A = this chain, B = another copy of it.
Amino acid sequence: MPTKARRGPYICGIDAAMDVVSGKWKSLILWELHLHGVRRFAQLRRGLPGVSEKMLVQQLREMEEDDLVHREVFPEVPPRAEYTLTRHGTSLNEALSALGEWGAERIERIGAEKVVYAAG
A residues with CB within 8 A of B: 7-18, 20-22, 27-28, 31, 49, 88, 91-92, 94-107, 109-110, 112-115
A20 to B112, CA, bound (A): 13
A104 to B16, CA, bound (A): 7
With both chains docked as a complex, state the minimum distance between the C-beta of A44 and any C-beta of chain B, in angstroms: 14
A88 to B110, CA, bound (A): 12
Main secondary structure of the interface of A (DSSP, over half): helix
Residues of B within 8 A of A101 (CB): 13, 95
Residue of B nearest to A16 (CB): B103
Residues of B within 8 A of A96 (CB): 14, 98-99
